[in-house]
Amino acid sequence: MSAPDLILDDHFHDHCGVFGVFGHPEAANLVYLGLYALQHRGQESAGIVSSDGTELQVHRAMGEVEEIFQQPGVLAKLPGSLAIGHTRYSTAGDKALLNAQPIVIDCNKGKVALGHNGNLTNAAEWRRKLEHRGSIFQTNSDTEVIVHLLARSQTRNLSGALGDALNQLEGAYSLLVLTTDELYAVRDPRGFRPLVLGKLSTPGGYAAWLIASETCAFDLLNAQYVREIAPGEMLRISKCGIESIHFAPEKPHQQCIFEHVYFSRPDSIIFGRSVNQSREMLSRLLAREHPVEADIVVPVPDSGVPAAVGYALESKIPFRMGLIRNHYIGRTFIEPSQAIRNFGVKLKLNPVRSLIEGQRVVLVDDSIVRGTTSRKIVRMVRDAGAKEVHVRISCPPTISPCYYGVDTPTREELIASSNSPEDICKFLGADSLGYLSLSSLKQAVVDTEGRFCTSCYTGVYPTDLVQLEVRGSNSNGKQEASVTMEREPGSGEGPVVVHRES
Ligand code: SF4
């Protein structure tokens, strides 16, 4: 049985995590720990690049952060007081080690390493143009386009050349760039993905600067959270201090609302707000919007736990851990030859019959993507003796894919793209189904000014022109179609039109 079949993880998948250190004698060790705290943002590969002031040293490998950097001698080969790291779940390019980051180049701007969280929506178009002009690509990752545009910029200083390169690109990027003596942290003008600045005292009494995707990485190091990198801001950190450069014209902010629903850790502060506060609020609002007479509230662990806690608090229905998750699932598994009903989902979850039997259950999760796993879980809860099963989802129906750095199935695979909540309820075999409304989701993250991207719930995309080719395979192992998306001329903020080329 393949890993995707086995793990049955019917979620949008996180993209990448980045962590950087400037001015600490143990920079690579700190990056290792930072990546460890950001492991939930990508588990396929990881890498660290360090600088001792003259040379860049790199180590990248497939696997999780601990297994890569606990190998004897690996961190010792990454000396210096500057380092950046990256943990990856591929969103563009295939999963090979070739695409692991940070990418390191030696070009006319010197030795440079890049770690990128996000997805460039016009990367395929730029790649074609650059190849036509003679550029030779080493990877099929969209990040390499930045490298080639950087090398081609006529601007001699790196901050200017980076600005030149990034102003030609569209989409999502929270980017770390390391040279032998400087660290840059850059966030795209719409601010899709998070990026934060922190500070840590060094043994010498100086402050080291830290950059991370999420603040939970600072907590592990006892570092202080200073602030967000603003959308459209480039921080240049050198021995002269920190310089803030606004490298791009302002654009309406489009921070990923799904970071608050699911991706980010609840102990992080994302886009200036506690993720835990958002999750509690959205599940309280869910309980107000979709009340039901029931005996217990049961989360689908682990991701549904915060939402179920909020639902239980608001509804005053007792919270019970009626499903237990096995955290030790390996990457492959041999199914017994005699078929076991719901074998895959049972490997991951098991119901506690003594809690569920005879009860009216509110089953809470944070999203439904394809619906197939949710259906198996509903059946499992019924098989454990539940009298009724009422499914509650702490976000709106997910109707459209993400093109901004998140691994999503195709539109056709998203159950809510072509089915009403009533149809989905029937498919799940539930007694009732309730999704949080978009207005309540915005209320939960305090989005009074429309600062958040909600495209996967609306099908309306914020970028004026989106062109991308998804190469390789999607998370189902199926070959992805090449997709070209354009906004209809003169349609302003209206929906984009999707053209598919097989
Ligand atoms: Fe986040 Fe959805 Fe927007 Fe992607 S489309 S950036 S997942 S809100």
pLDDT per position as a tens digit, 25-69:
999 999 999 999 999 998 889 999 999 999 999 999 999 999 999
At residue 408, the pLDDT reads 82
- CA dist 287 and 402 (Å) reads 27
Cα-to-centroid distance, 402 and ligand 1 (Å): 5
Cα-to-centroid distance, 91 and ligand 1 (Å): 13
- Is residue 16 part of the annotated active site? The answer reads yes
Q: Could you tell me which residues come within 8 angstroms of residue 27 by beta carbon, excluding any fewer than 6 positions away?
A: 21, 50, 80, 81, 82, 83, 208
Pocket test for ligand 1, best of 455, 460, 496 (most atoms within 8 A of CB): 455
Question: One-letter amino acid identity for 393?
Answer: I
CA 170 from chain center: how many Å? Answer: 18
Q: Could you tell me which residues come within 8 angstroms of residue 281 by beta carbon, excluding any fewer than 6 positions away?
A: 310, 443, 444
> For residue 172, which atom of ligand 1 is closest to its CA?
6
Cα-to-centroid distance, 304 and ligand 1 (Å): 19
Pocket test for ligand 1, best of 406, 442, 457 (most atoms within 8 A of CB): 406
> For residue 256, which atom of ligand 1 is closest to its CA?
1
At residue 13, the pLDDT reads 65
Alpha carbon nearest to ligand 1 atom 4, residue: 402
- Write down the pTM of the prediction: 0.88
Query: Looking at residue 387, what DSSP letter applies?
Result: S
- CA dist 124 and 140 (Å) reads 10
- CA dist 405 and 116 (Å) reads 10
> For residue 192, which atom of ligand 1 is closest to its CA?
6
Pocket test for ligand 1, best of 263, 275, 278, 404 (most atoms within 8 A of CB): 404
> For residue 257, which atom of ligand 1 is closest to its CA?
8
Q: Beta strand pairing status for 496-501 and 296-299?
A: unpaired
Cα-to-centroid distance, 256 and ligand 1 (Å): 5
At residue 90, the pLDDT reads 64
Alpha carbon nearest to ligand 1 atom 6, residue: 256
- CA dist 151 and 36 (Å) reads 32
Residues within a 6 A CB radius of ligand 1 = 12, 192, 256-258, 402, 404, 406, 453-456
SS3 labels along 255-287: EECHHHHHHCCCCCEECCEEHHHHHHHHHHHHH
At residue 483, the pLDDT reads 38
Q: Beta strand pairing status for 233-238 and 241-246?
A: antiparallel
Burial of 474 (C-beta count, 10 Å sphere; 0-12/13-18/19+): middle
Look at the block and give the residue holding tokens 């943990």: 87
Tell me: the pLDDT tens digits for 121-153? 999 899 999 999 998 898 888 999 999 999 999
Q: Write phi, then psi, for 114 (nearest 5 degrees).
A: -130, 135
Question: Which segments of the chain have a pLDDT < 50?
Answer: 1-7, 467-502
CB atoms within 10 A of CB 53: 11
Cα-to-centroid distance, 456 and ligand 1 (Å): 6
